[in-house]
Amino acid sequence: MRFAYRGYLAAGAALALAATLSLPQGALAQRESVPGVKVGNPSFVRKLVSAESVEQMGVQQYGQMLAKANQQGALLLDTHPQVQRVRKIAADLLPHTARWNERAMAWSWEVNVFKSPTINAFCMPAGKIAFFSGIIDNLKLTDDEIAVIMGHEIAHALREHARERLAKQRITNLSVTAVAIVFGEAAGQLANAGGGLYGLKFGRNDESESDLIGMELAARGGYDPSAGVTLWEKMSKAGKGQPPQWLSTHPSHTSRIDNIKKNLKDVLPLYEQALSQRR
């Protein structure tokens, strides 16, 4: 099957999104008093890299991926049921993003589905979302599970994890250069090897944080956040042979499920509220 499509949210959904995202200034500062999950403030170190530059990078790289997929006939048409399904879920979640990052109000959100058996999904900076058909088909995802995955990936963009990672890489590179100058090239190489250990914990924290925020986004959008449990049970079965947590940049499936269960009490009322508003 060979066709090309560069997908955008439907005009009606975009208008509804713009209206819903009209939050007052200072909304982020008031978040602690709002029902939902509790996570720390974003790392200050991310300010070493401008948000605009990272967002531009996200737009550029996402466009390159779309172009390549287009050449290979690996993008699903907007009429495909998977595309319509994923975009409907996105339209339900996106109105709730600005409470986590006011910049999201200005992002040109895009949602595409790549035809691939890969079990993966992502959201690049500036709101560029992609699902691979394999994650939907192979895991037989419910709408609730798709919403949890999507919320998780959106959370990475909202919390600017890519920006933070680039900033920390910049610090690491500067430190390695300084060590090499003072102690010689061999010592610099040793310090560079240690930089990977620093990123190890950073990756786990990001994933755990995105799990929680993703649950909240799903709940506010009217999707059952407890689907995170069944989702990671499916992921565990699909990812046999996963390395121990201390060797991975991601939390183990067991620890993720435990964390989700522990924080469900903070988001289930939001889910019930969203359901009551639909009735």
Number of structural domains found in the chain: 1
Q: Is residue 274 part of a domain?
A: yes
Catalytic-residue membership of 32: no
Asked whether residue 265 is domain-assigned, the answer is yes
Residue 155 near residue 214, CB atoms below 8 Å: yes
Question: What pLDDT, in 10s, does the model give residues 15-54?
Answer: 333 333 333 344 444 455 678 999 988 877 888 889 999 9
**Could you tell me if residue 162 is inside a domain?**
yes
| pLDDT value at residue 41 | 86
pLDDT of residue 243: 52
In this structure, is residue 250 part of a structural domain? yes
Can you tell me the distance from the alpha carbon of 270 to that of 220, in angstroms, rounded to the nearest whole number?
A: 6
pLDDT of amino acid 26: 44
Q: Is residue 140 part of a domain?
A: yes
Is 141 a member of any domain? yes
Q: Classify the phi-psi angles of 80: left when phi > 0, otherwise alpha if psi is within -120 to 50, otherwise beta.
A: beta
In 3-state terms, what secondary structure has residue 92?
Answer: helix
Q: Residue 84: how many CB atoms within 10 A of its CB?
A: 15
Task: Report d(CA 217, CA 267) in Å as an integer.
Answer: 9
Task: Write down the H helix ranges in 126-160.
Answer: 133-138, 143-158
Below-70 pLDDT ranges, the chain: 1-33, 171-202, 241-250
The answer as to whether 30 is a domain residue is no
Q: Which of 55, 110, 145, 153 is catalytic?
A: 153
Q: In what order do the strands lie in the sheet with 128-132?
A: 110-114, 128-132, 121-124
* pLDDT number for residue 275: 94
pTM of the predicted protein model: 0.78
Domain housing 118: 11-20+40-278
